[in-house]
Amino acid sequence: MSGGDKLDFEIRPNPAPVAAAERAALLANPGFGRIFTDHMVTIRYAEEKGWYDARVEARAAIPMDPAAAVLHYAQEIFEGLKAYHAADGGVTMFRPEANAARFVASANRMAMPALPEQAFLDSLRHLVEIDREWIPTADGGSLYLRPFMFASEAFLGVRPAKEFLYVVIASPVGAYFTGGVQPVTVWISPNYTRAAPGGTGAAKCGGNYANSLVAKAEAVAHGCDDVVFLDAAERRTIDEMSGMNVFIVLDDGSLVTPPLTGTILAGITRESVLMLAGRDGRTVTERPFSLDEWRDGVASGRVREAFACGTAAVITPIGRVRTPDGDFTIGDGGPGEVTMGLRQQLIDIQRGRAEDPFGWVHRLR
Ligand code: COI
């Protein structure tokens, strides 16, 4: 694309799509991120040409030079958002403009070219339109869209690459955690941190998630579902989980969540929760929240609920916290009322069952 922000996509339908009966069987129990649709979008970038060669084509392996910079220095970013069957029979996406803007912010942090937001939105629309039969109809199901971009230039010097590939794939999904919306147990990692001040914590880059894996494995080894990282400087306040933001609900119904100081991801679900809770008249505070305050607050009754939130996890209650110094249970360990109320409100808006007060729902047809 030289010039404007609009790209023309060449549409090449998959000549051998999955048969309807097989697709229906796959959609019956999709799990999370295990199955994929018939198509993908690709757009190329070269420094001297800009964005070019936008296509929708059969999903296939991507040939790559073994010297491609991403394989060596991890110059890669991604996004995650969902498409839904709306209650009125239409097809919608939730806040794709916010993902487009965050993709640009991540690209800036990782010294990558910015994909124009209109091209990002058009790429999603094309993929959802051609693969719309893959959107699960079951309650709780959705089509998870995964746009990503990586350095494809074959070059081993350490500098920003000059060639990139942008791709979008789609995966029909159910619940992210295997227990569905049952409360999860989280592990407070004593050994690992996620991101330091000035680092890449606010960028949605693969490296942040690679970094979380050993800590998540440690969490699983301790019988937990996921890890909560403490801040890298003092190991005192909560940052975020392996791929989700954290909220605490206090006894006056107010909400606390860690502030966006550059070490955590500016979650779109996080921001949606802040807006929904504010509309409900709840006080919402973005401030550092320490593990001590969490533990003491649970003991005194000041902390009533906690939850994780993200596109994949939606809103998932946190029932129990495990630390090397002992465990504590939040409330009675079950899903909290405020948590589940916010979850329901969010899902009802996403699925077109409730009024959309902030204009979040992006209608495709
Ligand atoms: C998402 O919630 O979309 C993410 O990117 C996080 C990942 C754990 C799936």
Question: Which of 176, 194, 271 for a ligand 1 pocket mutation test, highest count of atoms within 8 Å of Cβ?
Answer: 176
pLDDT in tens, 163-188: 999 999 999 998 787 777 899 999 99
pLDDT at 4: 55
pLDDT at 335: 96
More confident residue, 129 or 1: 129
For residues 55 and 165, state if they share a domain. Answer: yes
Q: Is residue 168 part of a domain?
A: yes
Q: Per-residue pLDDT for 365 more than 80?
A: no
Nearest Cα to Cα of residue 150 among 163, 138, 137 = 163
For residues 64 and 212, state if they share a domain. Answer: no
For residues 77 and 127, state if they share a domain. Answer: yes
Question: Which of 79, 143, 311, 315 for a ligand 1 pocket mutation test, highest count of atoms within 8 Å of Cβ?
Answer: 311
The lowest-confidence range among 3-7, 55-59, 197-201 is 3-7
Whole-number Å distance, alpha carbon 61 to ligand 1 midpoint, is 22
The pLDDT-based confidence of 274 (bands split at 50, 70, 90) is very high
For residues 115 and 140, state if they share a domain. Answer: yes
Side-chain-side CA neighbours of 60 within 13 Å: the count stands at 14
For residues 38 and 76, state if they share a domain. Answer: yes
Point out the domain boundary residue: 144, 173, 202. 173
Q: Is residue 1 part of a domain?
A: no
Q: Is residue 136 part of a domain?
A: yes
For residues 224 and 328, state if they share a domain. Answer: yes
For residues 79 and 214, state if they share a domain. Answer: no
pLDDT at 179: 74
- Residue range 310-328: average pLDDT? 95
Q: CA-CA distance, 251 to 314, in Å (whole number)?
A: 23
pTM of the model: 0.96
pLDDT at 3: 46
Ligand 1 atom at minimum distance from 33 CA? 9
Question: Which of 81, 82, 169, 244 for a ligand 1 pocket mutation test, highest count of atoms within 8 Å of Cβ?
Answer: 244
Q: Per-residue pLDDT for 288 more than 90?
A: yes
Q: Is residue 365 part of a domain?
A: no
Q: Which residue is closest in CA terms to ligand 1's atom 6?
A: 243
Q: Per-residue pLDDT for 63 more than 50?
A: yes
Q: Is residue 114 part of a domain?
A: yes
Q: Which residue is closest in CA terms to ligand 1's atom 7?
A: 243
**The CATH number of the domain where 58 resides is what?**
3.30.470.10
pLDDT at 165: 98
Q: CA-CA distance, 188 to 112, in Å (whole number)?
A: 33
Q: Is residue 289 part of a domain?
A: yes
Q: Is residue 127 part of a domain?
A: yes
By DSSP bridging, strand 184-188 and strand 226-230 are parallel
Point out the domain boundary residue: 119, 154, 173. 173
The pLDDT-based confidence of 224 (bands split at 50, 70, 90) is very high
pLDDT at 89: 86
For residues 192 and 159, state if they share a domain. Answer: no
- The total number of structural domains that make up the chain: 2
**The CATH number of the domain where 326 resides is what?**
3.20.10.10
Whole-number Å distance, alpha carbon 311 to ligand 1 midpoint, is 6
Whole-number Å distance, alpha carbon 301 to ligand 1 midpoint, is 31
For residues 140 and 264, state if they share a domain. Answer: no
Q: Per-residue pLDDT for 203 more than 70?
A: yes
- Residue range 4-23: average pLDDT? 93
Q: Per-residue pLDDT for 87 more than 90?
A: no
Q: Is residue 364 part of a domain?
A: no
Point out the domain boundary residue: 173, 207, 237. 173
Ligand 1 atom at minimum distance from 312 CA? 2
3-state SS, residue 46? strand
- Please answer whether residues 176 and 312 qualify as being in contact, where contact means their C-beta atoms are separated by less than 8 angstroms: yes
Whole-number Å distance, alpha carbon 314 to ligand 1 midpoint, is 10
The pLDDT-based confidence of 147 (bands split at 50, 70, 90) is very high
Q: Which residue is closest in CA terms to ligand 1's atom 9?
A: 312
For residues 130 and 233, state if they share a domain. Answer: no
* Average pLDDT of the chain, as a whole number: 95
- Residue range 58-79: average pLDDT? 98
pLDDT in tens, 323-346: 999 999 999 999 999 999 999 999
pLDDT at 290: 98
Ligand 1 atom at minimum distance from 144 CA? 3
Nearest Cα to Cα of residue 47 among 118, 122, 112, 121 = 112
More confident residue, 88 or 243: 243
CB environment 28-64: b (16+ within 10 A), e (fewer)? eebebeebbbbbbbbbbbeeeeebeebbbbebeeeee
Whole-number Å distance, alpha carbon 25 to ligand 1 midpoint, is 25
Q: At 316, which amino acid appears?
A: T
Domain residues for 212?
Answer: 184-350
The pLDDT-based confidence of 1 (bands split at 50, 70, 90) is very low
- Residue range 281-305: average pLDDT? 98
Whole-number Å distance, alpha carbon 62 to ligand 1 midpoint, is 22
Q: What residues are in contact with ligand 1 under a 6 Å CB criterion?
A: 80, 243, 310-312
For residues 75 and 140, state if they share a domain. Answer: yes
Q: Per-residue pLDDT for 197 more than 80?
A: yes
Q: CA-CA distance, 348 to 33, in Å (whole number)?
A: 23
For residues 25 and 161, state if they share a domain. Answer: yes
Q: CA-CA distance, 263 to 10, in Å (whole number)?
A: 39
